[in-house]
Amino acid sequence: MTIRMGLIGAGRMGATFAHHLINSIAEADLLAIADAHGKTAGEVAARYGVDSTYNDYYRLLERPDIDAVVIASPTNTHAEVIQAAAQAGKHIFCEKPLALTMEDCDAAIAAVKAAGVKLQLGFMRRFDAGYVAAKRKIEEGLIGKPVMFKSTGRDPKRTSLEFARRENSGGLIADMAAHDFDLGRWLMGSEVQRVYSEGGCLVYPELQDVGDIDNAVVNLRFASGAIGNVDVSRNAVYGYDIRTEVLGSEGGLVISKIRQTPILVMTREGVTHDTVPYFMERFGEAYAAEIRDFVGCILEDREPAVTARDGRAAAAIGIAATISFEEGRPVLIKDVE
Q: pTM of this prediction?
A: 0.94
pLDDT value, residue 278: 87
Please tell me what DSSP assigns to residue 206.
G
Give the closest residue to 21 by CA, choosing from 1, 55, 49, 42: 49
For residue 280, which of 73, 152, 124, 130 has the smallest C-alpha distance?
A: 124
Q: Region of 6 please: left (phi>0), alpha (psi -120 to 50) or beta.
A: beta
Q: Could you give the C-alpha distances from 44 to 15, 29, 116, 237, in angstroms and in order?
A: 6, 15, 31, 30
Residues of the chain with CATH 3.30.360.10: 126-284+313-335
203-211 contacts, C-beta under 8 A, 24 or more apart: 203/158, 203/234, 203/235, 204/158, 204/234, 204/235, 206/161, 207/158, 207/161, 207/164, 207/234, 209/161, 210/161, 210/162, 210/164, 210/165, 210/166, 211/164, 211/165, 211/166, 211/171
- Asked if 88 and 25 count as a contact pair (C-beta separation under 8 A), the reply is no
pLDDT tens-digit profile, the chain (337 residues):
899 999 999 999 999 999 999 999 999 999 999 999 999 999 999 999 999 999 999 999 999 999 999 999 999 999 999 999 999 999 999 999 999 999 999 999 999 999 999 999 999 999 999 999 999 999 999 999 999 999 999 999 999 999 999 999 999 999 999 999 999 999 999 999 999 999 999 999 999 999 999 999 999 999 999 999 999 999 999 999 999 999 999 999 999 998 999 899 998 999 999 999 888 889 999 999 999 999 999 999 999 999 999 999 999 999 999 999 999 999 999 999 9
Q: Which CATH architecture has domain 126-284+313-335?
A: 2-Layer Sandwich (3.30)
Beta bridge partners of 291: none
* Whole-number Cα distances in Å, 29 to 5, 68, 113, 143, 286: 6, 10, 25, 42, 20
CA distances, 170 to each of 104, 152, 163, 188, 215 (Å)? 13, 19, 9, 25, 15
**Is CATH 3.40.50.720 the right assignment for the domain spanning 3-117?**
yes
pLDDT (tens digit per residue) in 48-95: 999 999 999 999 999 999 999 999 999 999 999 999 999 999 999 999
61 C-beta neighbours (distance < 10 Å), count? 22
* pLDDT single digits (tens) 189-215: 999 999 999 999 999 999 999 999 999
Contact 172, 301 (CB under 8 A): no
